[in-house]
Structure 1
Amino acid sequence: MDRRDFIKTLGIAGGAALVGGTVGVPVAAAEVRAEAGPDPLLKDVCDIHIHCLPDTRPRCIDEFTLAGQAKAAGYKCVMFKSNDWSCHDRAYLVRQALPDFEVFGSICMNRVHGDKVNVFAAEQAVKTSGGLCRCIWMPTLSAAYQHQRDKLPGPGIPVLDPQGKVLPEVIRVMEICAEADIIFASGHSSPQESLILAKQAKEIGVKKFVVTHVNSLIWKMTRDQINQAVDLGAFVEYCYLPRLWGPGTGNPQFERQSRREFLNYVKTVPERSFISTDLGQRGNPNPIDGMRQCIRELLAAGIPQKEINLMVRSNPAHLIGLNK
């Protein structure tokens, strides 16, 4: 067994996939699909929100194996996200084994980096070899908003002060993202916090401000809020994960989002939107199978190909820095 096969074997431990194109149907835990090769539906796709091993939470596949599958399927790029650890340094190594494929990483400002948004961690991330950190997320699982809503212990990490103003360390990270021309993402901030961040980002000159998963759980935005964010220069992210979770999946505690609700979101402002899978959790589909199912669903609903291209190709490619 060579090194690639060894790593691949590690990567297929656990997981789930889509069966015959049916959304959310679990399969045997050891079966991780997306090995079929080139797929015209997936040509030049950019998925810039994927969770893989190594991580502190159970995942269905590792970064190296997923990147190889994405390259074989015809993707243009992937970007990995961990709620705890940076991924951009690993992206540098994955690229050595997968030449001619665009792999990127990111960093989240969670508690592993301290009790507040860590400016030094952000500075070092953008200095790391290869320049592959293309997104700095505000706190996610450590966010003050999530701690409040989910009644988690401790206050969480804030992005605003008690008067509702953006904290100085958050402003400095915005400046770092603006200088490096990378994504500043709202993380698990509340919809109202995200709008305040968007206003501040516009004043600073952040060109790639992203409000994350605006169709998910406690971060859902109204149509009016989405339009406000866009008017402030933001891009909005829709995740396909809510269309897949529910009983019998890796996230059984959540109610699956209806097809109608998901489509209502993606139709809002496609010119300033993009779709990520947010997949990689053990018990959920392989992210590539999830993206394939998403595109099929959009096509079946009559979403114009031009708008699909914007949301899964052009806009994420622009944000990641591939479309100059």
Structure 2
Amino acid sequence: MNTATDPRDAEVEELLVGAVDLHCHSGPAAMPRILDHHEALLDAAEAGFRALLYKDHFYLGVAHAVMLEKLVPNTGVRLYSGIALNNASGGINPHAVNHAANIGAKIVWLPTLSAANHVAQTESGAKNFPKTAKRMLEPIPLSALDANGAITDDTKLVLDIVAEADMILAGGHLPAREIIQVFEEAGRRGVKRMLVNHPTYVVNCTDDDMRALVELGAYLEHSICMFIPGKALCFTQQDLAHYIELAGAERTVLSSDLGLQGSPRPIEGYRQIVRMLLDMQMPKQDIRRMIGDNAAWLLNIH
């Protein structure tokens, strides 16, 4: 743990006990990472985290999580992963989702790097998104909608699999209006756990979009990396206060989205965001909810 240099350090460390990170970008990965899954686990264990979920844009990480829990026992940290429906997984591929569900995946991310929305924004230079260490094949842009603006049959089948397995459905990097349309359909098909990844980055939600998604029962996941010093910083403390007020602490999840070069390690990111929340006079109960309890409900763990 950090050496105590400020009276508030002990308060921060106490609040981190029981936290859950749903968006840990440790490696190995095609994008350069500052730590691997094992190191992320050890950091989380030292801080007393309840759970850690590894996210990779290119592969299903469930096997890594299962084996690490077995090889490094008695940490108190439960490890999870899921699948991102990018080109590397066959796009919006029901077969890949079915397999992921059957081996214990906890989350399905709709297209991220391969989303047509993401591709358009990165090609135009609108978003400074991290690059892979080696050149990858050009992405085939993906959408959950067909040429007529209707949800595709494959997407509907994915929603049915997610519902049956009671996994989290995450919006990925689809645009706001598309996520709203898919989440409306997901709710009709019995999906209970819905998560909007960094709604104000790439997804480009307006305040009204975020209110609409909360009305659908979704949780809004804000990336800690975008509010603390580092390469990904793009929002202010005032922005964070507004986003929390908009959805309420009961529908807000703070996940690290860390592991990228030029930014702190995930657990250090949590320390910084908790300190920021304390500076904002956020009630401790709400802090615990946003950094742990809401994510634990989404994972269906206690």
TM over 0.5: yes
Once residues 179 and 266 of structure 2 are traced to their aligned partners in structure 1, the CA distance between those partners, rounded to angstroms, is: 26
Structure 2 matches for 1:270-289, cutoff 5 A? 270-289=249-268
Counterpart code for 2:94: V
Within 2, Cα distance between the matches of 1:101 and 1:229?
A: 30
C-alpha displacement at 1:244, in angstroms?
3.1
- 1:171 pairs with 156, 179, 193, which one? 156
Give the TM-score normalised by structure 1: 0.81
User: Which amino acid is 2:199 matched to?
Assistant: V
Residue by residue over 1:133-186, the C-alpha shift from the partner in whole angstroms, topping out at 9 and shown as x without a partner, is 110101100101111223376651111112222111111111111111110111
How far off is 1:51 after superposition? Answer: 0.3
Q: Counterpart of 2:26?
A: 52
Provide structure 1 residue ranges, at least 5 long, that are not aligned to the other structure. 1-16, 22-35
| C-alpha distance in structure 2 between counterparts of 1:243 and 1:311, whole Å | 15
- Relative distance call for 1:76 and 1:154 in structure 2 (3 A) is closer
Indicate if the aligned counterparts of 1:234 and 1:272 stay in contact, CA closer than 8 A: yes
Q: Mean alpha-carbon deviation: is it higher for 38-47 or for 161-170? A: 38-47
Separation of aligned partners in 1, 2:63 and 2:139: 30
Are residues 1:39 and 2:13 paired? Answer: yes
1:47 Cα deviation from its structure 2 partner? 0.7
Structure 2, unpaired ranges of 5+: 125-137
Query: What CA distance in whole angstroms lies between the structure 2 residues aligned with 1:150 and 1:53?
Result: 23
Query: Which whole-Å deviations, capped at 9, do the CAs of 1:32-52 have from their partners, x for residues lacking one?
Result: xxxx9x931311000110101
Aligned to 2:234: 256
Q: CA offsets per residue over residues 179-233 of structure 1, 9 Å max, x none?
A: 11110111000011111111111111100011111132x3232222111111112
- Greater shift, 145-154 or 87-96, is seen at 145-154
Cα contact 2:112–2:172 (8 A) shared by 1: yes
- Alignment map for 1:1-324 (pairs within 5 Å): 39-99=13-73, 100-114=76-90, 116-128=91-103, 131=104, 133-151=105-123, 155-216=140-201, 218-244=202-228, 249-251=230-232, 256-269=234-247, 270-323=249-302
Distance 1:263 1:290 in 2: 17
Checking the alignment, whether the CA contact within 8 Å between 2:228 and 2:272 is kept in structure 1 is no
Taking structure 2 as the reference length, the TM-score comes to 0.87
Displaced runs of 4+ in structure 1, greater than 2 A? 97-101, 148-155
Cα deviation per residue 1:7-46 (whole Å; 9 max; x = unaligned)? Answer: xxxxxxxxxx9xx89xxxxxxxxxxxxxx9x931311000
**Residue 174 of structure 1 contacts residue 204 of structure 1 at CA under 8 Å; is this kept in 2?**
yes
CA distance in 2, matches of 1:156, 1:223: 27
Whole-angstrom distance in 1 between the partners of 2:254 and 2:299: 13
Deviation larger for 150-159 or 233-242:
150-159
Paired amino acid for 1:261: D
SS of aligned partner of 2:107 = strand
Aligned letter for 2:181? I
Count of matched residue positions in the alignment of Structure 1 and Structure 2: 279
